[in-house]
Amino acid sequence: MTEALTGEDRVALFARMLLMRRFEEMIIHVAQDNTDIGRNHLYIGHEATGAAVAQVLQPGDLAHTTHRNHGHLIARGADPGKALAEIMGRAGGLNQGRGGTWHLTDREAGFRSTSAMVGGSIGLSIGSGYALRELGTDNVAVAFFGDGVLDEGISYEALNFASQYDLPVLFVCENNEREGAHETSRLAASRLTDVPRALGIEVATVDGHDADAVAARTAELLVTVRGGRPVFLESQLERWPGSHQVKPEFVTGVTDLSHAWDPAAISGEHAGWIRDFDPILRFARTLLDDGTASREEIAAIDARTIETMAAARAFAEASPYPDPEAAAHDVFAERSAADA
Amino acid sequence: MTEALTGEDRVALFARMLLMRRFEEMIIHVAQDNTDIGRNHLYIGHEATGAAVAQVLQPGDLAHTTHRNHGHLIARGADPGKALAEIMGRAGGLNQGRGGTWHLTDREAGFRSTSAMVGGSIGLSIGSGYALRELGTDNVAVAFFGDGVLDEGISYEALNFASQYDLPVLFVCENNEREGAHETSRLAASRLTDVPRALGIEVATVDGHDADAVAARTAELLVTVRGGRPVFLESQLERWPGSHQVKPEFVTGVTDLSHAWDPAAISGEHAGWIRDFDPILRFARTLLDDGTASREEIAAIDARTIETMAAARAFAEASPYPDPEAAAHDVFAERSAADA
Amino acid sequence: MPRKSYAQAMLDAILAAFESDPTTRVIGPSFAQGRGAPETQEAFFKTYGARIMQPPISEGVTAALGAGAAMAGLRPFVNFGTSTFAFEAWNQIVNEAANAHFMSGGQVTVPVIYHMFAGIRGGGGVQHSQSPQSMYANCPGLKLVLPASPADIQGLIATAFRSPDPTVIINHTKLMGLEGDVPEGDVAIPFGQAEVKREGADVTLVATSLMVQRALDAADQLAGDGVKAEVVDPRTIVPLDRETIIASAAKTGRLVVVDEAAATCSIAAEIIASVAEAGVALTAPPVRVTRPDTPVGFSPALERAAEPNVEGIAGAIRRVMG
Amino acid sequence: MPRKSYAQAMLDAILAAFESDPTTRVIGPSFAQGRGAPETQEAFFKTYGARIMQPPISEGVTAALGAGAAMAGLRPFVNFGTSTFAFEAWNQIVNEAANAHFMSGGQVTVPVIYHMFAGIRGGGGVQHSQSPQSMYANCPGLKLVLPASPADIQGLIATAFRSPDPTVIINHTKLMGLEGDVPEGDVAIPFGQAEVKREGADVTLVATSLMVQRALDAADQLAGDGVKAEVVDPRTIVPLDRETIIASAAKTGRLVVVDEAAATCSIAAEIIASVAEAGVALTAPPVRVTRPDTPVGFSPALERAAEPNVEGIAGAIRRVMG
Ligand SMILES: Cc1ncc(C[n+]2csc(CCOP(=O)(O)OP(=O)(O)O)c2C)c(N)n1
Ligand SMILES: Cc1ncc(C[n+]2csc(CCOP(=O)(O)OP(=O)(O)O)c2C)c(N)n1
Ligand SMILES: [Mg+2]
Ligand SMILES: [Mg+2]
């Protein structure tokens, strides 16, 4: 299980990351054309983390995510058409239009409930970990969350609980906070990992722009988690310059994969982020450099991905809005005689 | 301010501790004679902590305490008669009979609100610290709380907040948990102080049975706190054997000060606790040993204390129950035309 | 029918669920507040210790654990002790557990039971005497159960353990010692079915939880004066059997509602409003008997002043009888 | 009278309090949700930066800070942003701030303002669209303010800053852009005084917050059909001006209540119950118009289905008009 990823795995991992990126770019396109999709928190720049973790998880592992969930869902196999339809509030969406961007949920892909409350995912993950253990499975729970979650007391309670009761939970903190900027968190600890460490949890830190590194480290850590101890992984990320926008904008432009082999062509205000921190371009470069994939193969993956997105958008746009009647459905799984 | 306590101070500190002890013993007597005082959490065994901290605080410093508050109130000068009347639900009580044992409050003594929620005092103390700073005073806030409070997320939030904003708060954790017993807490950290330390707060640990040590250490730490940084003090305590009782019982007997000079006379199931951990007997022994007080002086203090308690009980028992009308008073400080 | 205490019936129901369903768990085992059936409790711990967990004093994550574990295939019975402790888990209960089924488009169910003790219990003081039922009733997605008798608690817990939905069970501490007849065998009581606990033609008393017992006592007392009071216990507030309540009010033409929670936006207000909306022509204005909009003071004198009692209910009945 | 937006009026009221009272503080400064008056906000930050604090994402301790600081002599305006974030601080609000004055025997006052945005705001989804007003109304010790217009928000915030009691102010996000006349000078509006926002003889509409605007629109619409609707805005729910409401209902004989919160145990239920208890003889059964007992789905189609709207209110009026 901790064996290194094969070349094939790595190409699949790249394809997964690209799918996540093209999906978010599609959201920006839709937002530009459509005012009804609300406030989106895109996963751009985080792809290496979500994709690599997804790559080394096993079927049956349960994951919990946050307001910034699109990438996690797509990474674990949620249908992009249904995901987009959900973000557009359509009946054909993953959640039948009830959830929207903040709550994408796909049971098949291992997501039972997606909370947009800061601290939501980490709390629920304790329940998943407990249930998976009590049901005698070999599966684990994963909590994805941002650095801001460490501000909430429930994160501390969750870490303490998992440590106390040896729950099989992998905590994945995607830290996109700039040193001292206090954009999404205000933690007095000098490092995020000081908190789980104080609670007796094994911690690890990884460069979140490096897909290989995330995959390798996560695979290693999962051995411990499957063995019955929680682990805390901090993925260190440079914040995507677009991530503070209320309405997503193409601040870094549509990703141009040729920048992987032609960095000199990168330009604009955010050239630095694109060159140094875009995990997709970085992984493409690595795959090219170590001969795992050719430019043509990469271009072909991209072409297929772009086709997938076109089909997804066509599906979503053709999906109707939910029937107003549906507004009162599924409040309960079981209705009683007393329900109107 | 960090000068050692004078002999006079130390005798006053002893008198304060004895007052706290005799007060709790009186509660046991009342509970035995009276069924209406509810469930009490006595301060027996903790006296050195509350008394020594009170001794080195200054007028205007605000303190917050918990369900186990009697000792803290008495230590800072609350009237024993009014305190007992409150515990007995009488109109002459500190809170006019509205609070009872868990909520003793005395504004004059520096207590603004006493919460019985685990995590209540530590949260409110952040507000006191903030206000004292913003109002330009030189005063500090003190939060007294038990080890169980570290289970609650709000304690973590409070520590983080105080550290972030340099609030003048002294956190005093009275840890009466037995290693691994999980009687009042389940913290995965190997030491309680690991949590505040991870959040960048200076921590200290003291033997909670040693009044001199608590006073000296607290006085030192208060320099830092008055300077604008929070500090966390753990007072390590051996749990009083009676503290798990729903209804207080004399499991260790009425304190016999002669045990300080005649330990051979100590007997019974809990002789070990009395001999090794009773902070009152220990401090009495120290004062005798270093010549600060004589047996006669100690006996005289006790006699005065016992008289004070007799007067307190007489006052409380003579106090009427509140008028039923009072049940609806003081819901708001300001009533409006719309109030019935 | 065997006679047993409320505490015993509660434990028996949990025990039965544990016997028949291996996915059941108890999180927070101090569920009898030292108020009864110690032998059964001990036997329960002995047999099922591995399925019982004592959480840290961390109500937030404990509630989240219950919700998450329910989504993942367990049936947790999460016990908070005093209801105010669950205020620390408000977001996890009303915004996570309550919403997940709807929000996921029906993909997930959340069969968790949140159990708590509430009410003026004797010496609880301001922070331990609340009755949070109307706050929960205003949160869509939670079923809300207020059992008033040993038979009810046993039958309603049985249903809660089979329900796919998150269920809040609020027990009044003072009910724990109440004795009553409890049917043998499969005693599940469906949610949403009020019980007419006493029939009568002159006035309808709708009451919840401990107040059902008080209402029955008041009805007894008034029977001496020839007033025939009907006592209706909704048993579950969500779903609420408005039909039975409205039918009774229409029959008697007089309505008194008794609930221990603070008056404003209470279940008592809800029931009066429901009857008014149904266009039932009442002979006299309806009356609610609740705790006034005040915290509950510690002193026994203040508790007595705040607590709806038999005299107050009887007074309300006399008022509507004119 | 100057005309200004609700957001502007809100900021002006905070500014005025900051100018006159050095003990005022703002905790959580994102209080306009990017919805208005950016210049005033900027100027405010510039002048008063030292009295404004951005807390960590720690609602529990932030609420406790507000309560504790208020007890110790400050007047904090604590802003949670979306109302559901305050669910993380439920215990600190309903069990600490609300109780301290009573519990201490009146020794302490807690002049803290808890401010939050609520309601179906457009794309908020299940976890950001709640209307928690009835939950707060059921908690004794909290004053509860639902301002429906620029004049109201300015005048009610002015009062809140002078009040010795903990006050929850719930603003509907969709009101932020509403323009209206606001009196100059000292505009404090006392708590507990309903405003008859439109007079009429045929039917009483009691509405809160954004629903006041919807009720006014419905009244306009019905005026074309010759129906004269009276619109009563309680403005504060605690204290509640039942007198004005009851007098209006007695005058018109017809009652429709509009509030956006879920139906069961809502303010709408409270008002209907209060009128029924007062023995007002209505010509037709009263009707409440609320969100049904469901979470609010994300899709605009689902929002529209859940949100009380002008057509729904007009329909209810027609129903009571017979
Ligand atoms: C309980 C709660 N408080 C506040 C918010 C508002 N909020 C939404 S996202 C966010 C910042 C989260 O930061 P982080 O967890 O680091 O995630 P990021 O957006 O940086 O990925 C906040 C404060 C919320 N959703 N829930
Ligand atoms: C929020 C909350 N949860 C649970 C309780 C019940 N409770 C009262 S005291 C106590 C134990 C507290 O332990 P600790 O803080 O160590 O104080 P000690 O009694 O040991 O002095 C608990 C769990 C409570 N009062 N508040
Ligand atoms: Mg972040
Ligand atoms: Mg303890």
**Residue D181: is it exposed, middle or buried by C-beta count within 10 angstroms (0-12/13-18/19+)?**
exposed
Residue D55 in contact with partner chain A when CB distance is under 8 A: yes
Residues of chain A found within 8 Å of residue D88, distances taken between Cβ atoms = 117, 119, 152, 154
Give the per-residue pLDDT at D39.
87
- pLDDT exceeds 90 at position A106: yes
Pair C87, C116: CB distance under 8 Å = no
A&C contacts, CB < 8 Å: 172
Q: Is the CB of A121 under 6 A from ligand 1?
A: no
Going by C-alpha positions, the residue among A129, D127, B113, D261 that lies closest to residue C64 is: A129
Which residues of D are less than 8 Å from C288 in CB distance?
Answer: 273, 277
Q: How far apart are CA A139 and CA D81, in angstroms?
A: 38
Torsion angle of alpha carbons A28, A34, A39, A44, nearest 10°? -10
Kindly provide the residue ranges of all beta strands, DSSP E only, lying in A120-212, ordered along the sequence: 141-146, 169-175, 202-207
H or E segment to which residue D129 belongs: none
The predicted pLDDT at position A1 comes to: 43
Q: What is the mean pLDDT of residues B90-117?
A: 98
Distance D140 CA to ligand 4 centre (A): 31
Q: Which residues of B266-300 are buried (b: 16+ CB within 10 A; e: fewer)?
A: beeebeebbeebbbbbbbbebbbeeebbeeeebee
- 3-state class of C114 per DSSP? strand
User: What's the distance, CA A30 to chain centroid?
Assistant: 20
Beta strands in chain C (DSSP E): 3-5, 24-27, 52-53, 75-82, 113-118, 143-145, 167-172, 179-181, 195-198, 203-207, 229-233, 236-238, 255-262, 287-291
Do D68 and B131 meet the contact criterion of CB atoms below 8 Å apart? yes
Calculate how far, in angstroms, residue A49's C-alpha sits from the geometric centre of ligand 2: 40
The answer to whether residue D68 neighbours chain B at the CB level (below 8 Å) is yes
Contacts of D288 in chain C (CB under 8 A): 273, 277
Instruction: List the 90-149 stretch of B: residues with Cβ below 8 A of C.
Output: 90-91, 93, 95, 97-103, 115-119, 148-149
Say if residue A340's pLDDT is above 60: no
- In contact, C136 and C168? CB cutoff 8 Å: yes
Nearest CB among D94, D95, D273 relative to C269 is that of D273
Q: How far apart are CA A117 and CA D263, in angstroms?
A: 24
Buried b vs exposed e over B18-46: b needs ≥16 C-beta within 10 Å?
bbbbbbbbbbbebbeeeebbbbbbbbbbb
Distance from CA of C196 to the nearest CA of B (A): 33
Relative to the alpha carbon of B157, which ligand is closest?
A: 1
Q: What integer pLDDT is reported at residue A35 of this predicted model? A: 66
What is the maximal distance between C-alpha atoms in chain D?
A: 59
Distance CA C220, CA C231 (A): 11
Say whether C128 is catalytic.
Answer: yes
Q: Determine the Cα–Cα distance for residues C181 and A64; give it in Å rounded to an integer.
A: 46
Please report the pLDDT score of residue B1 as a whole number: 43
Whether A95 and C103 lie within 8 Å, measured CB to CB: yes
Rounded to the nearest angstrom, the distance between the alpha carbon of A34 and the centre of ligand 1 is 24
Asked if B124's CB is within 8 angstroms of D61's CB, the reply is no
Pocket lining: B5 vs ligand 2, CB cutoff 6 Å: no
In this structure, are residues D121 and D88 in contact, taking their beta carbons and an 8 Å threshold?
A: no
Instruction: Find the A102 Cα to ligand 3 centroid distance in Å.
Output: 15
The burial class, CB within 10 Å (0-12 / 13-18 / 19+), for A294 is exposed
Minimal CA–CA distance to A111: which of A62, A47, A145, A144?
A62
Contacts of D101 in chain B (CB under 8 A): 330-333
Angle at B79 between CA B78 and CA B80, to 5 degrees: 110
Nearest CA in chain C to D144: C264
Closest residue CA from atom 23 of ligand 2: C57
Instruction: Among the bound ligands, name the one nearest to the CA of residue A120.
Output: 1
- Cis, peptide link before residue D190, omega less than 30° from 0: no
pLDDT at residue A107 greater than cutoff 90 = yes
Catalytic residue selected from D101, D128, D172, D303? D128
Please write the tens of the pLDDT for every residue from A127-176: 999 999 999 999 999 999 999 999 999 999 999 999 999 999 999 999 99
Which residue's CA lies nearest to atom 22 of ligand 1?
A118
How are beta strands D143-145 and D236-238 bridged, if at all? antiparallel
pLDDT of residue C30: 78
Question: In the sheet that D143-145 helps form, which strands lie side by side, from edge to edge?
Answer: D52-53, D24-27, D75-82, D113-118, D167-172, D143-145, D236-238
Whole-number Å distance between alpha carbons of C288 and C211: 12
Mutate which: C92, C94, C103, vs A, most A CBs within 10 A: C103
Per the CB < 8 Å rule, is D288 touching C273?
yes
Residues 181-200 of C with CB under 8 A from D: none
Per the CB < 8 A criterion, the answer to whether C213 and C151 are in contact is no
Does residue A109 have a pLDDT over 70?
yes
Q: Which atom of ligand 1 is the closest one to the Cα of A68?
A: 21
With an 8 Å Cβ cutoff, is D246 touching chain C?
no
Q: How far apart are CA D145 and CA D129, in angstroms?
A: 18
Q: Give yes or no for B241 touching C (CB within 8 A).
A: no
Chains in contact with chain A (at least 3 beta-carbon pairs closer than 8 A): B, C, D
Radius of gyration from C-alpha coordinates of chain D? 19
The answer to whether C242 and D293 have CB atoms below 8 angstroms apart is no
Side chain identity at residue D69, one-letter code: A
- Please work out whether the CB of residue A72 comes within 6 Å of at least one atom of ligand 1: no
C15 contacts C191 by C-beta, under 8 angstroms:
no
User: Residues of D with CB below 8 A from B114's CB?
Assistant: 104
Per-residue confidence (pLDDT) for residue B249, from 0 to 100: 79
Q: Does residue C303 carry a catalytic annotation?
A: no
Distance CA D186, CA D74 (A): 22
pLDDT by position in tens, chain C (length 322): 899 999 999 999 999 999 999 999 999 977 666 677 888 888 899 999 999 999 999 999 999 999 999 999 999 999 999 999 999 999 999 999 999 999 999 999 999 999 999 999 999 999 999 999 999 999 999 999 999 999 999 999 999 999 999 999 999 999 999 999 999 987 899 999 999 999 999 999 999 999 999 999 999 999 999 999 999 999 999 999 999 999 999 999 999 999 999 999 999 999 999 999 999 999 999 999 999 999 999 999 999 999 999 999 999 999 999 9
Ligand sitting nearest the alpha carbon of A153? 1
Check CB contact under 8 Å for D298 and A98. yes
Residue A250 reports pLDDT greater than 90: no
What is the model's pLDDT at position A39?
A: 82
Whether the pLDDT of residue B297 is over 80: the answer is: yes
C-beta A89 within 6 A of ligand 1: no
What's the confidence (pLDDT) of residue C133?
Answer: 98
Contact B320, C299 (CB under 8 A): no
Which ligand 1 atom is the nearest neighbour of the CA of A175? 16
Q: Is the CB of A68 under 6 A from ligand 1?
A: yes
Catalytic choice (C128, C172, C270, C303): C128
- Whether residues D135 and C135 touch (CB distance < 8 A) is answered with yes
Per-residue tens of pLDDT for chain D, all 322 residues? 899 999 999 999 999 999 999 999 999 977 666 677 888 888 899 999 999 999 999 999 999 999 999 999 999 999 999 999 999 999 999 999 999 999 999 999 999 999 999 999 999 999 999 999 999 999 999 999 999 999 999 999 999 999 999 999 999 999 999 999 999 987 899 999 999 999 999 999 999 999 999 999 999 999 999 999 999 999 999 999 999 999 999 999 999 999 999 999 999 999 999 999 999 999 999 999 999 999 999 999 999 999 999 999 999 999 999 9
Instruction: Please state, in angstroms and rounded to a whole number, the distance separating the CA atoms of residues A21 and A10.
Output: 17
| Chain A nearest C-alpha distance from B142 (Å) | 20
Q: Report in angstroms the alpha-carbon separations of C24 from A235, A325, C78.
A: 36, 35, 11
Ligand 2 within 6 A of CB of B92: no
Cβ within 8 Å, pair C277-D272? yes
List the single residue in A154, A164, A198 with the smallest CB-CB distance to B194.
Answer: A198
Question: Tokens 């996690």 correspond to what residue?
Answer: A72
What is the pLDDT at residue C34? 63
D44 or B110: whose pLDDT is higher? B110
Please indicate whether residue B41, judged by its CB atom, sits closer than 6 Å to ligand 2.
yes
Tell me the C-alpha distance between A99 and A274, whole Å.
32
Report the sign of the C-alpha dihedral through residues B328, B330, B331, B334, in that order.
positive
Instruction: Report chain C residues whose CB lies below 8 A from the CB of B338.
Output: none
pLDDT of the residue at B340? 45
- Both tokens of residue B13? 């500190």
Per-residue confidence band for A246, with pLDDT thresholds at 50, 70 and 90: low
Q: Nearest CA of chain B to the CA of A139: how many Å?
A: 23
Which of A107, A123, A332 is facing C92, going by the closest CB pair? A123
Under DSSP, is residue C184 helix (H, G, I), strand (E, B) or coil?
coil
Which chain D residue lies closest to B159 (C-alpha atoms)?
D61
| Ligand 1 atom 6 nearest Cα | A118
Q: Note which residues in 31-70 of chain A have CB less than 8 A from chain C.
A: 62, 64
CB < 8 Å to A332, chain C: 101, 141, 143, 164-165
- What is the value of pTM for the model shown? 0.98
Query: Could D91 and B117 be called an inter-chain contact, meaning their C-beta atoms sit closer than 8 Å?
Result: yes
